[in-house]
Each structure stands twice: as structure tokens, then as C-alpha cells.
Amino acid sequence: MTFEEIKRQATAEWESIEQHQIPVIRIGTATSDRASGALEVVEAFENELARLPVEAKIIQTGSVGFCNYEPLVIISKPEYPRICYKNVTPDMVPRLVEGFLLEDDPCMEFALGTLEGGNGSPPYIPELPRSEHELRLLLRNCGFIDAENIDHYIALGGYSALSKALEMTPYEIVEEIKRSGLRGRGGAGFPTGRKLESCLKARENPKYVICNADEGDPGAFMDRVVLESDPQAVLEGMIITGYALNSSQGYIYTRMEYPLAVKRLKTAIEQAKQRGLLGEDILGTGFNFRIEVFQGAGAFICGESSALMYSIEGKRGFPRVRPPRSIEAGLWHKPTQLNNVKTFACIPVIIGQGSEYFSNIGSPRSKGTAVFALAGKVENVGLVEVPMGTTLEKVVYDIGGGVKDGKRFKGVQIGGPSGGCLPEAFLNTPIDFDSLTEAGAMMGSGGMIVMDEENCMVDAARFFLDFTQKESCGKCVMCRLGTKQMLSILEDIVSGQGKPEDMEQLINLGEDIMAGSLCGLGRSAPNPVLTTVRYFREEYEAHILEKRCPALVCRDLIAYYIIPEKCYRGCEHCVLSCPSEAIVEHPKRFKVVDQSKCVKCGNCLEVCPPEYNAVVKLSPVSELPSSDLPIKDEK
């Protein structure tokens, strides 16, 4: 079958849905939607449709990326604009089916907004303030197409780039990618075109193409959403790369923690094979390319390219000394092109729309868009795609909606455990590879965690270092032992045992670890500590010199205290919730925390009714008012 025929069939199928005579219900069922109960919503819709005399088509899509509004449902009904419903629960479904589908009440009280129209109310999503800054290049299909139906992807322009590429020479493809200015989305930002060119020039054969989907950074989920919502885009990028390098074997290395992504990828591979877009003799050109999904086994270090390749070979994931670089001697010592999920997803855009289209987006030295997983203390948690060069402030405030619950912004952690924490003064930093590195953070794979006044920066640094220390493979001494030493200094600080010279010690150790480690893990592991020491020095000083945690987080430096004047005296919420029986009654009937028994779980604070609000955290512990309670031994 020629590509024209495949496309005609796919378009016909898509139009039969889009030029609907029956309503279409799109329900996001990616992992995070499922966690908020999307599958129960699907079931509720199926039940309602079976019960009532109304016909509608249900499509399970990936995620739009608006995580705080999940489960998200988009209903298109003839003569209505497409309406997005937020936080849909099974209880709302009968109203939607009966009210909107059967009758004509669009239930706007449940709606987030509409996707067409736009004359004031109801809110028109493309005109929301956040939409002004966003540009959905890679996420364009996410949440709108059925990720397990290749025809949807093809109908919306998918695989046109492959069909175009197959008529180009490998050098033309590589030139086009070089001209686009695309840089690797895995974090370091090496120019993809240059890497491809070197791999193309490598003499050895066979060559391999590897997609790095080992998204191990805690707090990052961009690659997962792309794989679960639009897997064909990644496959298409890999097939084009394979063609350009005359490679016949590709691997996708994913985390084992992403079962749904693996399932959808495998379905996507099967469907692409059926259409003749993957496998033997692709589109009748004689080019063969296979893709195998390889599930990792839970080692963060395998996100590093040489470790990842050893892992595919069935070995321990130890990074190795370079040169030789993987483009010369990678998997099985053969030339290997390894790129991130999003890098591959960019390639169909570049080949399909031309390098100029791509290079017109973004900043002078970083082209295209950046995809971030925005999380932490921010209103609009979810995926964000903006042109490179957009400032942090726009992402956190205009798109993210600012800090949650009106708290004060403290910092933003970019790039996960390899990145850094940037304070308020850096909010006008443009998001691109070079500006972030200059500020001491890094693009990383794209996790962005917003922190507010209730987050302790010393604790955050300790958290990240604890992670990298556990994940260090142990090959380089500086990384293996140095991070352990840094961690024990940080643990001393958060437990009130810090010494004034600790900060200098941390900086020295950090710099040495970066110099003495082979791979990106060790070379970036001290980043979170170094940036917090640099930008939040006063917090370290408070911990060390005053034994005080300003954010009231570090457990050894805080105490829970019940304010006698506020305690209602008649209620027992705190007493019942305490796991260690640490709350006792004063003879005057207010409650008192027995500090010797308190495990600092925070239950009492959580359950104290808001109208009394009697439980507070105090730091330093020495400020604790004496309870004048001679706690009697009842025996």
C-alpha cells in the first residue's frame, strides 16, 4: 500500500468520527488520569450509554497535561463547540449524559472551558492567559487522539514526514536536522544534527538507534505522557533516524515503572508494522527497521547513555570512560545514535514542516520548545510546553498560576537531582540550555518543582543528595564516598549537629566530586547542594548557628505545641489521632504534647479543627513554652 492510500484510509476513519453525527466523548486515561479515577469515569459513561437511549462514541486518549483538572473529559456534540469538563467523577456522568447528550444542557458548571468559539463566556481555553505563552509542538496530539489507534495519528499529519524522508538522501536528512538547531532533550543539550552526522560517518556496521525513555528523575513525567499519549510520534522520529543512518535495529529503553507506556508503545509498534511503516520493506522502499521495547530494571544510572547500553547487553549499568563515544562504539561496540524521547518526537516536526519552521521557534542558541513537568507548590500542576527562551516567571506564574494557597514563592528546582534550586531573583532567567547552566541549574530532562516558604532548602538538598547517593553505581570513588560524606554532613545540619565550617566543607567536597567523577550523575550530583548553599545561605546558617529550621520542616529542630488559649478543651481529635499517645490532658483540661513521646508525625496539626487551629510548629525547640504540667506517672 502506498502512503497516500494509508493516509486516505486513516483520514476517512478520522472524519467519520470528527464529522460526527453522534457525540464523541474523549476521556484521558494516561497514568495520572487513572490515579484520579479516569477508568471509573469511563465505566460510568459506558453504563449510562447502555442505560439511556442515546448513542455516543467513547475514545480513550492520553493526557492533555492539565494534571490538576484530571480526570478530564472532552465532549464534542454536533452544533456545539467541544467542551472540556474538569475533575469529572462518576457521579457527574449521569448529568452529562442525560443533561447534555440526551437533552441540550451543556452542564457548564462542570466545564473548564470550550475549545471553539470564544465570545466571552464560557471561557475559551485558547484565550486563557496561560495559552498565550504555550506552544504545543510535541504535545499537539496529547489528549486528543486515541494513543492506541495509528489512524488518528496519520490523519493528523503523522508519518507524512517519514514518507517525505524516504525520498531524501541520508545527508539531506542530517543537514535538515542540523539546520533546525535541534539540541538533545535529555538534558545536556548536545546538537542532535552533529551527533547524527558523526554517527552517519562512522564506518562500522551495523548501526543502532536507541530511544532513552529511562525517565528516572523523581518529579519528571514528560516522557511518560508523550509515550502514553502520542507514541507514534516517537516511533516516526526513530524510523527517520534509522533510515538516515541505514540502521535496521532500534531499541526503546523505558522504565519498568511505566507499564502503561510500555503497553501503548507495543500496540503502536504492532500497528505501525501492519501499515507497513515499520518492519520489513518500509513503504515499499526496501528499507528494514525493527524496534524493540526494552524494560529497565530500576536503576537511575541507566539513564546515562553508556550505562544504558550495557544494560541492554545484559550487564550491570556502569558508565564507561569516553572516548570512544557511543556514536563510534556504543551498543555491542557498534556506532549507536542515542536520543531522548522528546528529541525523537521533534524529528517528524522538523522533517515534515522544514528546519526553518523549527528554528524560528525559541531563542538564538536553543531552538524549538521546552517541555516541563511542573509540580510542587504551584496551582496548575501538569505538563507545560513553551518556546525556549520563555522566562521562569511566565512558567511559574502565568502558566502555573502562581504558588498554591497564596503562599510566598521561595525557589524553583529545575533538572531534578542533577539540577539546581534557583531563588526569586532568577525568575527572569530565560529557559534555555545555556542560561540555566549559567545560573547553576540545568535543563535536565524537564522536571520543575516549585517550592514555597514551607519548604526547607537544606532538607531539599539533603533529599536530592540522598537520592543520588543511593543511585550512585559505585564505580568512581569521589561519587561513591564523596556523596556519602556530603550526605552525612547534611544530615548533621538538619538534625541540629551542624558546625560552622560545614558549609565550606560542602562546597569543597562538591567541587571535588564534580571533578573526580566519570559520568553525568557524579558530575552533577552536588548541584542541588551547591546552589542552595549559594542562594539560600541564611537557611543553612539558621540550622547550624541557631538550631532553627525557618520553614519548620526539619524534625529535630521543631516541636509541636498546643496553644492553651486556643485549645477548645472539650474535643479529643488530637488525642485520638496521635500514634504515640503523646498528647495528654492538663488539669485545666487543655491538651499538652509530651515532647518525650512525640514522633512528629503532624497528625495533631492536621486534625485540629480549623476553627480552633490550636496546634502550631515551633523552631528552635528551645523556644518551646514550658507547659507547667507535672506529667504524673499514672502507675
- Which residues within the stretch 340-359 sit at the binding site for other proteins (CB under 8 A)? none
Q: Name the β-bridge partners of 372.
A: 384
- Residues found in the chain: 635
Does 294 participate in binding other proteins (rule CB under 8 A)? yes
Instruction: Examine residue 321 and tell whether it contacts other proteins (CB under 8 A).
Output: no
Which positions from 240 through 279 interact with other proteins, judged by CB under 8 A?
Answer: 256-258
**And the C-alpha cell for 460?**
531539599
Among 451, 518, 519, 592, binds other proteins (CB under 8 A): 451
- Mode of pairing for the β-strands spanning 583-585 and 591-593: antiparallel
- Per CB under 8 A, the list member of 193, 219, 303, 389 interacting with other proteins is 219
For residue 393, the one-letter residue type is E
Q: 136, 183, 195, 377: which one contacts other proteins (CB under 8 A)?
A: 377
| Residue from 50, 297, 321, 425 binding other proteins (CB under 8 A) | 297
Q: Looking at 92, 308, 441, 449, which residue binds other proteins (CB under 8 A)?
A: 449
DSSP character string of 151-202:
HHHHHTTTTHHHHHHTTS-HHHHHHHHHHHT-B-TTTT--BHHHHHHHHHH-
- Helix, strand and coil in the chain, % to nearest 5: 45, 15, 40
Q: In this complex, which beta carbon is closest to other proteins, that of residue 449 or of residue 559?
A: 449
Span near other proteins by CB under 8 A; candidates 152-160, 296-304, 356-364, 541-549: 296-304
Choose which of 24, 107, 156, 607 interacts with other proteins (CB under 8 A).
607
Q: Are 226 and 65 in contact (CB under 8 A)?
A: no
**How far apart (Å, rounded) are the C-alpha atoms in residues 621 and 576?**
24
Instruction: Give the integer Cα–Cα distance in Å for 257 and 211.
Output: 17
Q: Does 311 bind other proteins (CB under 8 A)?
A: yes
Q: Which of 45, 372, 409, 467 binds other proteins (CB under 8 A)?
A: 467
Pairing of strands 249-254, 290-295: parallel
Residue 265, C-beta contacts closer than 8 angstroms, at least 6 positions apart: 227, 231, 234, 235, 252, 254, 293
- Positive or negative CA dihedral for 296, 298, 303, 305? negative
Q: Is 367 in the site for other proteins (CB under 8 A)?
A: no
Please identify, using beta-carbon distances, which residue of 256 and 631 lies nearer to other proteins.
Answer: 256
Q: In the complex with other proteins, which residue's Cβ is closer, 477 or 599?
A: 599
Minimal distance in Å, beta carbon 444 to other proteins? 12
State yes or no: residue 579 binds other proteins (CB under 8 A). yes
* One-letter amino acid of 362: G
Residue 333 touching other proteins (CB under 8 A): no
Closest distance of CB 407 from other proteins, Å: 12
Residues 134-193 interacting with other proteins (rule: CB under 8 A): none
User: Which of positions 408-447 make contact with other proteins (CB under 8 A)?
Assistant: 413, 416, 447
* Closer CB to other proteins, 307 or 592, in the complex: 307
Least distance to other proteins, CB of residue 334, Å: 13
Element spanning 28, H or E: strand 24-28
Stretch that binds other proteins, among 171-179, 356-364, 457-465, 481-489 (CB under 8 A): 457-465
Query: How does strand 336-340 pair with strand 208-213?
Result: parallel
> Do 228 and 261 contact (CB within 8 A), yes or no?
yes
Q: Given the rule CB under 8 A, which of 2-10, 49-57, 217-225, 625-633 is the region that contacts other proteins? A: 217-225
Which amino acid is present at 453? E
Select 182 or 549, whichever has its Cβ closest to other proteins: 549
Angstrom distances, CA of residue 390 to CA of 135, 137, 219, 445, 485:
11, 15, 21, 17, 38
d(CA 591, CA 604): 11
Site string for other proteins, 17-56 (x = CB under 8 A): --------------xx-xxx--------------------
Which distant-in-sequence residues (6+ apart) come within 8 Å of 184 by Cβ?
190, 191, 192, 195, 339, 340, 343
Annotate each residue in 521-560 with x if it binds other proteins (CB under 8 A) or - if it does not, as one string.
----------------------------------------
3-state secondary structure of 372: strand
Residue of 28, 106, 382, 498 that binds other proteins (CB under 8 A)? 382
Tell me if 315 contacts other proteins by CB under 8 A: yes
Q: Is 603 in the site for other proteins (CB under 8 A)?
A: yes
376 counts as binding other proteins under rule CB under 8 A: yes
521 three-state secondary structure: helix
CB of 170 to other proteins, least distance (A): 28
Residue 618 CA: distances (Å) to CA of 142, 216, 627:
46, 36, 14
Q: Count interface residues toward other proteins (CB under 8 A).
A: 59
Encoded amino acid at 423, one letter: P
Edge-to-edge strand ranges of the sheet holding 73-76: 57-61, 24-28, 73-76, 83-85, 111-114
56 or 293: CB nearest other proteins: 293
Q: Closest Cα partner for 162 from 341, 282, 308, 67?
A: 282
Kindly tell me which of 174 and 521 has the beta carbon lying closer to other proteins: 521
CB of 355 to other proteins, least distance (A): 32
Min CB(94)–other proteins separation in Å: 24
Q: CB 319 → other proteins: shortest distance, Å?
A: 13
The residues that touch other proteins, with contacts defined as CB under 8 A, are: 31-32, 34-36, 67-68, 70, 215-221, 224, 256-258, 294-300, 311-317, 373, 375-377, 381-382, 413, 416, 447, 449, 451, 455, 460, 463-464, 467, 473, 577, 579-580, 599, 601-603, 606-607
